[in-house]
Structure 1
């Protein structure tokens, strides 16, 4: 047939997908999910009307629909009640047992607080490994005769006349100033910081969950 142009044929290449990791099993670390019952008689629009003022904060942008609200935060103020979370979605849904406000909030600050103890525990193990590698060399140095016979060097007469302080006595390893300078590094501070951040995460994760639920419940129940 004349007057017709041949159309190119495109062959779609299908790339096989690799195994996917279900983050739902671990994203509870920095994701907060929950629901709050909506008082009887409130429509989805009325419920969101009461919740929406919470997102009128500096650094917060939100988008509203009939039954859902999503938000993002950038450099929120410290007094923002949801400053820990940088984004989230709220939906008003009928669960069959009543209408509920469901929320899904994401806070990377919680993730950072969760990972901090692991980082400090890594520092502690590194310190232990370094001490273990340095121990044979220190033991060999302590066995040398010079290390045992180390004495305080004589003071210069001129320095003595000028009132200069006497040199420090050698430490156990034969070096001057056998105090804090010659002590081995200890993993104790790393363990302390790991415990502090672990307590902060556990307390913050539980506290933020309760504060969010109480905030939404209070807004919904206001006249």
Structure 2
């Protein structure tokens, strides 16, 4: 069951949720004024090329255009949207084209930061649980260093024979071991990246689709 299907299931069960408070996350809504001389059929005829792309199906129902997309190609100008409804509404100031579009991509980008934040918290918990064992390993490592120090002392005979002195562990070796430790930094970075992607995508897609509809409606 995907995210959209789960939300539909909750609605059928009558779950008390004010959907308009949260569905803006993956919905893009808006409206455009229609010239008085244009009929509904002319409006839908002008924007029809947008719904002739591969993987897109659509139908007209009672002054409304309902569409859905599946495996849409990247060159589709509305590829980010998976389904939606466009309808003609009459208002005091004139007729308008209203649209309600849904996007799984926006929903994914919104939820992804929470996933990575959860991973970061899990990493911190695991790191905290591993702390006692690391303390024991550090004490063992100190003993090993003491034993190594004894062997690192070169005897006069070895010096006379020209045997090279044993090498000591450098700070770089210690840094490499430190890098292997668990760190939540990467998860925080990805959470930030997806948060930025969502904000930018949410704003840019709302503006671009409105501009796209306006462009097709203005053509003669």
Q: Which runs of 5+ in 1 are unaligned?
A: 1-16, 155-165
Equivalence for 1:132: 128
1:194 equivalenced with 2:191 (yes/no): yes
Q: Is the 8 A contact 1:142 1:148 kept in 2?
A: no
The count of corresponding residues between Structure 1 and Structure 2 is 193
- Per-residue CA deviation, residues 143-193 of structure 1 (Å, 9 max, x unaligned), is 356244141778xxxxxxxxxxx9975578xxxx53424431211111111
* 1:26 shift after superposition: 0.6
Query: Mapping of 1:113-124 within 5 angstroms?
Result: 113-124=109-120
Higher Rg of the two aligned structures: 1
Q: Is the 8 A contact 1:141 1:147 kept in 2?
A: no
Alpha-carbon RMSD across the aligned residues, in angstroms, is 2.5
How far apart are the structure 2 equivalents of 1:113 and 1:51? 28
* 1:31 shift after superposition: 0.7
Q: TM-score by structure 1 length? A: 0.78
* 1:116 shift after superposition: 0.7
Equivalence for 2:212: 215
1:35 equivalenced with 2:31 (yes/no): yes
Structure 1 pair 168/222, CA: closer, same or farther in 2 (3 Å)?
A: farther
Structure with a larger share of its residues in helix: 2
Structure 1 pair 86/192, CA: closer, same or farther in 2 (3 Å)?
A: same
Equivalence for 2:70: 74
Q: TM-score by structure 2 length? A: 0.79
Structure 1 pair 195/150, CA: closer, same or farther in 2 (3 Å)?
A: farther
Match for residue 102 of structure 1 among 79, 95, 98: 98
- Per-residue CA deviation, residues 18-51 of structure 1 (Å, 9 max, x unaligned), is 6422222111100111101112211111111111
1:146 equivalenced with 2:143 (yes/no): yes
